[in-house]
Amino acid sequence: MLAAAPWSLAVFTLSLPFALLIANLFPYGGWLFLALALINLIALARMTFAWHRVITLPDSPGVAAARRGAAEARHLALLGALVIAVTAVARATGDLPYVLYMVLGGSNDNLFWGALFASLALIWAPMLYALAVYGLSLPRAATAGEYGFRGARGAMPYKRWPLMLALLLLVAAAGHAGYTLRMLASGYTDAELAQSALSVLLCVPITFVVATMYAVAYRDSVNR
């Protein structure tokens, strides 16, 4: 499966730090970082497109035959919309601790932490649930060339919480990697540079797991 799009995987991995910095509103880099972030999104789309087809259509002629068609365009459009939505919510909740601290006056740690976790749960639980439900349209778009949003909710053959947990892990890993990369701008040691590199690289296998879970869930929903 990893061999289905090796060049896209390589480009995705190399450009991922720039995409994470853009997602964290990194103040430097300008158009160059934005272009690299766009390249990262395209590489992610091509990579997951290939992975989804390999899992759901094991007997198909190959990924190359489906390239540059309507299916890949639909897959890219949906993936881009999901990534932008998650990035926007993650960036908004990144400022939530500061907002709550100012609103509560910082006088009660128990109240602050309780309000913070409750607010995060209220924001992210519906978001992760929606991703677990409608994310199945990604492998559907890659294989059938359509989204099928209306039937997405009933198509999931498994419990949704494992996929939601994997998505939460991916969001948390990407957020931590973006934070460590941003901190490097003010100076770093070799240990901090290594930690940032490991944080970025950790996002790759988690992305692989999430894409695989989507594809397997869609494949089994079609075959049941």
Per the domain annotation, does 22 fall within a domain? yes
**In the predicted structure, residue 64 carries a pLDDT above the cut 70:** no
Averaged pLDDT score across all residues of the chain: 86
Q: How far apart are CA 45 and CA 48, in angstroms?
A: 5
Q: How far apart are CA 121 and CA 31, in angstroms?
A: 34
Per the domain annotation, does 216 fall within a domain? yes
Share of the chain above pLDDT 70, in %: 91
Q: What is the pLDDT of residue 65?
A: 47
Residue with tokens 């690299």: 36
Number of structural domains (the chain) is: 1
Q: What's the token pair of residue 25?
A: 């509103």
Per the domain annotation, does 10 fall within a domain? yes
Q: Which residue has the higher pLDDT, 74 or 97?
A: 74
Q: Stretch 41-69: mean pLDDT, rounded?
A: 78
pLDDT band of 3, cuts 50, 70, 90: confident
- Residue 99 vs residues 77, 147, 176, 182: alpha-carbon distances, Å: 33, 38, 20, 21
Each residue of 88-115: pLDDT tens digit?
A: 999 888 888 888 888 877 667 788 888 8
Per the domain annotation, does 194 fall within a domain? yes
Q: How far apart are CA 45 and CA 171, in angstroms?
A: 17
For residues 199 and 173, the answer to whether their CB atoms sit within 8 Å is yes
Per the domain annotation, does 151 fall within a domain? yes
Burial environment of residue 72 by CB neighbours within 10 A (0 to 12, 13 to 18, 19 or more): buried
**Which of 60-69, 93-102, 123-132, 160-169 shows the lowest mean pLDDT across its residues?**
60-69
Q: What's the token pair of residue 107?
A: 């006088």
Q: Which residue has the higher pLDDT, 212 or 144?
A: 212
Per the domain annotation, does 113 fall within a domain? no
Residue with tokens 């087809």: 53
Q: Stretch 197-218: mean pLDDT, rounded?
A: 95
Q: Is the pTM of this model over 0.75?
A: yes
Q: What is the pLDDT of residue 29?
A: 64
CA-closest candidate to residue 152, choices 43, 58, 78: 78
Per the domain annotation, does 84 fall within a domain? no
Q: What is the pLDDT of residue 15?
A: 95
For residues 125 and 210, the answer to whether their CB atoms sit within 8 Å is no
Determine the structural domain holding residue 40 and report its residue range.
2-78+129-223
Q: What's the token pair of residue 149?
A: 């949003």
For residues 19 and 40, the answer to whether their CB atoms sit within 8 Å is yes
Per the domain annotation, does 51 fall within a domain? yes
What is the distance in angstroms between the CA of the first residue and the CA of the last residue of the chain? 23
